């Protein structure tokens, strides 16, 4: 179920003009199982809260399946997979050559709306974490009237567990062993963040935009 942003916030965003193109995405849940036995993530236990957060620029995207999916390039330094233990892990740095991390909006394909995090703008698959070879995955779907467009600014709001058609919130590695951490999704917020340009630094943002 989605709750849209308030009228007060919408008015503030209009007043802020060009700076409103930075959007913060935060997905929250709780760990139900952890099979990771090495590195910082081995300290995470069932019952710990889990938060995936990152930022995207609403003008930096790649249309996957025209009219159905649009992948917004994640600003890599902003990404964090954090737990209440406390443990926090970012994206692999340097990121694999030729790849990018995307937050993709799905509108009505095939019959539901939704969101996923992947190195592909067209299909779920997760993104590589700094604790290799683990991948972080978020893939959630709602009934097909949730999104009105593929513009992430139109998707601003709060998404909870109600109305879900599917969800996958996991960390996993395939090789050398099939190791997983399972998390139960509870809420996601998509929030335009006018002040993010100053927080991230103009130089970092300009570097992202030059790669369009």
Rg from Cα positions in the chain: 17
- Alpha-carbon gap, residue 49 to 27, rounded angstroms: 11
What pLDDT is attached to residue 6? 39
Residues of the chain short of pLDDT 70, as ranges, are 1, 3-20, 175-176, 194-212
Residue 176, pLDDT score: 65
Provide the pLDDT for residue 168.
Answer: 95
Q: Which residues contact 142 (CB under 8 A, 6 or more apart)?
A: 1, 2, 112, 113, 114, 159, 163, 164, 165
- pLDDT value of position 178: 76
pLDDT at 67: 76
d(CA 181, CA 33): 6
Q: HSE, CB side, 13 Å, CA atoms: give it for residue 68.
A: 11
- Across 144-168, b (16+ Cβ under 10 Å) vs e yields bebbeebebeebbbebeeeebeebb
pTM, entire model = 0.83
Q: Which H or E run includes 110? A: none
* Cα–Cα nearest to 101, from 78, 142, 80, 72: 72
Phi, psi for residue 12 in degrees, rounded to 5: -65, -40
Neighbour count for residue 204 (Cβ, 10 Å)? 15
pLDDT at residue 207, rounded to an integer: 38
Tell me the torsion sign for CA atoms 21, 30, 134, 120.
negative
The token pair that represents 121 in the structure block: 């703008």
- Per residue in 83-142, pLDDT (tens digit) is 999 999 999 999 999 999 999 999 987 778 999 999 999 999 999 999 988 999 999 999
């Amino acid at each position: 179920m989605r709750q849209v942003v308030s009228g007060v916030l919408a008015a503030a965003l209009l007043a802020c003009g060009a700076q409103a193109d930075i959007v913060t995405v935060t997905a929250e849940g709780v760990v139900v199982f952890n099979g990771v036995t090495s590195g910082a993530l081995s300290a995470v236990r069932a019952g710990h809260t889990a938060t995936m957060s990152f930022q995207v620029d609403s003008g930096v995207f790649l249309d996957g399946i025209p009219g159905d999916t649009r992948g917004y390039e994640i600003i890599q330094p902003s990404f964090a997979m954090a737990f209440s233990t406390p443990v926090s892990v970012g994206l692999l740095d340097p990121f694999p050559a030729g790849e990018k991390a995307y937050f993709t909006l799905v509108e009505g394909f095939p019959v539901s709306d939704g969101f996923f995090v992947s190195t592909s703008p067209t299909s779920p698959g997760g993104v590589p974490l700094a604790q290799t070879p683990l991948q972080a995955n978020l893939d959630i779907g709602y009934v097909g009237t949730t999104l009105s467009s593929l513009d992430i600014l139109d998707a601003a709001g709060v998404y909870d567990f109600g109305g879900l058609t599917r969800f996958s919130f996991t960390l996993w590695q395939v090789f050398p062993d099939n190791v997983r951490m399972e998390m139960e999704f509870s809420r996601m917020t998509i929030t335009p963040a006018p002040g993010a340009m100053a927080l991230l630094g103009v130089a970092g943002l300009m570097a992202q935009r030059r790669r369009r």
